[in-house]
Amino acid sequence: MMTVKQAAERLGVSASLVYELCARGRIRHSRIGFGRGTIRITEEALAEFLKGAEAETAASALPPLRHLTAPASSRGPSRAAREDAPAAP
């Protein structure tokens, strides 16, 4: 079992982020001791988190953007309408 600091070093993040992930239930952990106790994280729990994070990243990937054009009415008068319009004095 590893401490929050060790888990943070393994993940390359801050200890405060690991505390937050534990609080949100994203990283499975145990508390040892009285009161709030000391958080301990197993290798397996860290591996589960990493596997889940990879799956979330793949699932949240956005599809490629498509080129959108504005409807003709919002682009102003068409070329034909401009050519047929009387000239301004």
Would 18 be classed as within a structural domain? yes
CA distance 20 to 7: 13
Whose structure tokens read 């409807």?
Answer: 71
pLDDT at 83: 64
Q: Is residue 22 part of a domain?
A: yes
pLDDT class of 54 with cuts at 50, 70, 90: confident
How much of the chain exceeds pLDDT 90, in percent? 53
- Containing 23, the helix (H) or strand (E) segment is helix 15-23
Average pLDDT over every residue of 56-66: 69
How does residue 82 score in pLDDT terms, banded at 50, 70 and 90? low
87 domain residue, yes or no: no
Work out how many domains the chain is built from and give that number. 1
> In terms of pLDDT, which residue wins out, 67 or 3?
3
In a domain, 69, yes or no: no
60 falls within a domain? no
Task: Count the neighbouring beta carbons within 10 Å of the beta carbon of residue 49.
Answer: 20
pLDDT of 74 strictly over 70: no
Q: Classify residue 79: in a domain, yes or no.
A: no
Give CA–CA dist 57/60, Å, rounded: 5
Show the DSSP H helices in the chain as ranges.
4-11, 15-23, 43-59, 79-84
Q: Containing domain of residue 18, as a range? A: 4-54
Residue 68 lies in a domain: no
For the entire predicted model, the pTM comes to 0.61
